Amino acid sequence: MDLFTPLLNAIPAVMTFPNLLAMVGGVLAGIIVGSLPGLTATMSIAVLLPLTFAMDPLVALGMMAGIYNGAMYGGAIPAILLRIPGTPAAIVTTFDGYPLAQQGKAGYALQIALLSSAFGGMMSAVAMMILAPPLSLVTLAFGPPEVFWVGIFGMAAVSVFLGDDLPKGLLAALLGLFVGMIGLDPVMSTDRFTFGALELESGIDIVVLMVGLYAIPPCIDMAEETFRKAKTGQKLEFAPFMQTVREIPRFFKVWSWAYIYGIFVGLLPGASGSFVSFLAYERAKKMSKDPQSFGKGNPEGVAASEFGNNADNAAALIPTVTLGIPGSSVAAVIMGGLLVHGLQPGPDLFRNSADIIYGFMIQMFLTSLILIPLGGSFATNLFAQVLRIPRPLLIGLILCLSIVGAYCVQNSIFDVWLMFGFGLLGYVMSKTGLPLAPVALGVILGPLIESNLRLSLLLDVRNEHILFTRPICMVLIALLVLTTVFPPLWKRFSARRKKAQDAA
C-alpha cells in the first residue's frame, strides 16, 4: 500500500470548518500563552486538555497542534522585547533578539522570529509525514517482549537526556513508575497503594498529574517574584513585512543546519527544542563571516534559534506516535491527549485510525503556516501587550483554569487535591533539579511496561530467556546500555580532558 495515500485521504477531513476553527483558535491561544513568561506549551495543553473531551479527536488534535506551534513562536515575543524567554526554548532568542530591540528594531526581530518559526514548523511537519509511516511499519514486528524493552528504553533515554545527571533522572523515572502502579493491578485486579481510598482504585489520571506538575510550580515561582518591579514593554517600530520576507534567502544556510539538528534531536526521546536552539546558534556563529556580531544584534542568531526550536516540533512526535516514546515534555502531554481520546500510539494507530493520525500531521503543517498571517497581524501589534497583565491576576487565572480542568476529569474534588499535591511535588522537584518529564512518562509507560512483561513471560513458559534472545530485543538492550552508560562516561572523559588542558 502507498504510504502517502492515507495522507491524501485525510486532507478533506482536515479542511472542515470545525477543524480550521480549532487550528486558528489553538494558534492564537498558543501565541498568547507563549508570550507570557512562566507559561509553556506543555502547561497550556495540559490545562486545556479537559476542554477537548467532548470534541472530535481530530478537532482536539488540531487545537493541540495550534497551541504547540503558536506557543513556540509566542515565547520569542518577551524574549525579544524584555529579555525574558516566554518558553524555555526561547532562551537563545534573547541573545540577539533583545539587542535588536534595544537598537529600535524590535519589530524586525519579531518578524524574523515569526518567519523562522513558521518555516521551521512546516519543515518539521514534512519530516514527520515522510519518516513516521515507515517507522510505523517497523513497529509491526514488535511483540510484547519488544514493546517491553521499548518502554524501558524510553524511560532510560528520557531520564538521561532530560536530567542534569543520571541519578536524578532515574530517580524521577522510578517515582513516575511508582505513581503509575497506584490502583488496580492490570492483570490480577488487586489493589495497590490505594490505602483504602476508592478514588485511587482507577489509578492516577494523566490529566490531573500533568496539570499539577506543569501548571502549579510556575504559579509558585511567579508568586515569589510578585514584589519584583515590573518592566515596561518596548516601543515597537515595524519594518515593512515584505521587506523582511525578501531577506529569507539570507537565512537558508542557517536554517538548513538548524533543520538537521532539529530532526535529529526531535527523534531522540527526551531532548528538546532549547537544546536544538543552542546547537543551531553555535553552528550559525561558526559559519558567519562576522561571528563577533553574535550577541550584539545579529538577525542570523534570531533566525537560527527560532528555526531550531520549531524544527523539532513535529519531529519530536515521531517516536511518540510510532513507538509511544515522547520526544519531549510537550509530546508527552499530546500523548496523554491521544490516550484520553482512545488512541493508543503504535502500529495500531496507523492501522485503525489512519485518518486521524495522518490528519494530525497535516494539522502540524497548517498551524505552522497559519502562524504567518496571525503572528504578523496580531501577535506583534496586540498580544505583546498581554505582558502587562499583573502577576497576581495571572496567577489567579492559571489556578482557576487548573482547578476547573482537574475537577472536570471525573467531577471529583479529590482530583483537585491530588493536582495540588502533584503541584507541590513538581515545585520541590524543580528546586532540587529533578526533571518532571520522567515522572509523567512513568505514569504513561508504567502500565505498558508491566503488562507487556507479564505477557512476554506467558508467551513461552518454557523459555524464560525470551526477553533476551529475540533479535530486536537484543538491539534494544544494546541501545539501552549505550543510552545509560555512554553519556556519563563521556561527561567524565570530557571533564578530565578539560582539566588536563587547563593544567597544561
CA distances from residue 302 to 96, 143, 284 in whole angstroms, order as listed: 6, 45, 10
Nearest to 102 by CA among 73, 80, 76: 80
73's grid cell: 513562536
d(CA 441, CA 403): 22
Q: Quote the distance between the C-alpha of residue 191 and its chain's center.
A: 33
Please enumerate in sequence order all residues whose Cβ is within 8 A of that of 393, keeping only pairs 6 or more positions apart, or say none.
none
pLDDT digits (tens, 9 = 90+) for 214-251: 778 878 877 777 655 544 444 445 566 677 778 888 88
CB 133 within 8 A of CB 10: no
pLDDT digits (tens, 9 = 90+) for 194-212: 888 888 888 888 778 877 8
Say what angle helices 391-410 and 206-224 make with each other, to 10 degrees: 170
d(CA 151, CA 134): 20
69's grid cell: 506551534
Phi/psi region, residue 189 (left: phi>0; alpha: psi -120 to 50; beta: rest), is left
Q: Is the dihedral of CA 105, 107, 111, 116 positive or negative?
A: positive
DSSP conformation class of 504 = -
d(CA 388, CA 390): 6
CA distances from residue 116 to 101, 123, 151, 276, 412 in whole angstroms, order as listed: 17, 11, 34, 14, 43
Q: DSSP labels for 97-135?
A: HHHHHHTT-HHHHHHHHHHHHHHHHHHHHHHHHHHHHHH
375's grid cell: 503572528
pLDDT value of position 341: 83
Task: Give the gyration radius of the chain's Cα atoms.
Answer: 23
pLDDT value of position 155: 74
> Which segments in the chain show pLDDT lower than 70?
1-4, 37-40, 82-89, 135-142, 157-166, 226-241, 268-275, 327-328, 347, 377-389, 391, 394, 437, 461-464, 487, 491, 504
Q: Quote the distance between the C-alpha of residue 253 and its chain's center.
A: 26
pTM above 0.85, yes or no: no
396's grid cell: 489567579
